[in-house]
A and B are shown apart, each in its own frame.
Chain A
């Protein structure tokens, strides 16, 4: 079946620290991969995505590379800010295009302190 596993939180960092949130997936076919972010009191927002192997998604200083060989899509940021404090969800759709069902990981809460 299709599933997403991401590292448990909370992740607590100081401002300007390096961030990695691990995400691995299991999928049949060729999934698209996503990172969504949920800021306190707000709805989910798409942070970045990648639709095929070796694609790198990037946005707001965050990056993630679609690694088919390791079935991973780890989220990274070189220097986090307090405003990055949120819950981050890794997700996939079972295949690119067509039916768009999203399967989410459990979410990782990030807390960044000044």
Chain B
């Protein structure tokens, strides 16, 4: 069945460095992917919508220059946390709606989530 993968599953970095997280859709193509952030024992907060071939759409309060999103292909979106600081430590999760055809985005209600990436900034 459809699967979304993320890499790496966990990463530890020093303050001031940049970290790239990959999100891949397996078995299907996704013109849209979503990036969420989850703090310990809290809910998921949508950070941005990644759009293949165009700029990402960021939610209010999310710094687009800090969280760079690139939807490089129909199966890959990347989130780069630039100049990371300890407060950026969190669990980052991506998702993709199922059923999007090649370069055709139609709405479906079912999203598949990646397993998440735990970022720890020292």
Binding site for B on A (CB under 8 A): 32, 34, 36, 42-46, 49, 51, 89, 93, 96-107, 109
Contact A107 B43 (CB under 8 A): yes
Min CB gap B42→A, angstroms: 7
Determine if B46 is an interface residue (Cβ-Cβ < 8 Å).
yes
Task: From known contacts A46-B110, A46-B111, A102-B95, infer whether A107 and B42 are also in contact, taking CB-CB under 8 Å.
Answer: yes
What mask results when residues 30 to 41 of chain B are scored 1 for a CB within 8 Å of chain A, else 0?
Answer: 001010000001
Binding site for A on B (CB under 8 A): 4, 32, 34, 41-46, 49, 93, 95, 97, 106-116
Residues of B within 8 A of A100 (CB): 32, 34, 97, 107-109, 111
Task: Find A43's partner among B32, B49, B114 (CB 8 Å cutoff).
Answer: B114
A-B contacts at CB below 8 angstroms, number? 58
A36 CA / B4 CA spacing, docked (Å): 16
Contact A97 B49 (CB under 8 A): no
Residues of A within 8 A of B46 (CB): 101-103
Task: From known contacts A49-B110, A100-B32, infer whether A43 and B43 are also in contact, taking CB-CB under 8 Å.
Answer: no
Q: Which residue of B lies closest to A87 (CB)?
A: B41
A99 CA / B109 CA spacing, docked (Å): 9
Contact A101 B107 (CB under 8 A): no
A7 CA / B112 CA spacing, docked (Å): 24
Residues of A within 8 A of B109 (CB): 32, 34, 49, 51, 93, 96-97, 100
A101 CA / B114 CA spacing, docked (Å): 16
